[in-house]
Amino acid sequence: MYRFGVKEMLRRKIREESLRTYLFTYSSVYDSISIPRLAAMYELDFQQVHSVVAKMIINQELAVSLQKALLYSVIGNRKIKMY
């Protein structure tokens, strides 16, 4: 039982790091990014994806800002909607 928990935690961490890599690589390409789509792509739930993006913003790893009401993110001079 303990081993299963560790394996699942490692799988989740790998998916989160894959998401981070994707965002680093493609954030300059997209005008909008859908959190539900990212969640489906990486088999994470909405909250996990939102958390990864928020941490990247706080750590200034991603030039994005989120607005609470519509979950906008701004990359450079472009506004990006995150739904």
What does the pLDDT look like over 61-82, one tens digit per residue?
Answer: 887 666 543 344 545 545 555 5
Q: Give pLDDT, residue 18.
A: 97
- Give the pair of three-digit tokens for residue 13: 């961490």
pTM beyond 0.75: the answer is: no
Q: How buried is residue 50: exposed, middle or buried, by Cβ count under 10 Å (0-12/13-18/19+)?
A: middle
| pLDDT digits 0-9 by tens, 17-75 | 999 999 988 887 876 777 888 889 999 998 998 899 889 888 988 876 665 433 445 45
Q: How buried is residue 66: exposed, middle or buried, by Cβ count under 10 Å (0-12/13-18/19+)?
A: middle
Q: Which domains does the chain have, with CATH numbers?
A: 2-81 (1.10.10)
Residue 29 CB: number of other CB atoms within 10 A? 8
Average of per-residue pLDDT across 6-22: 94
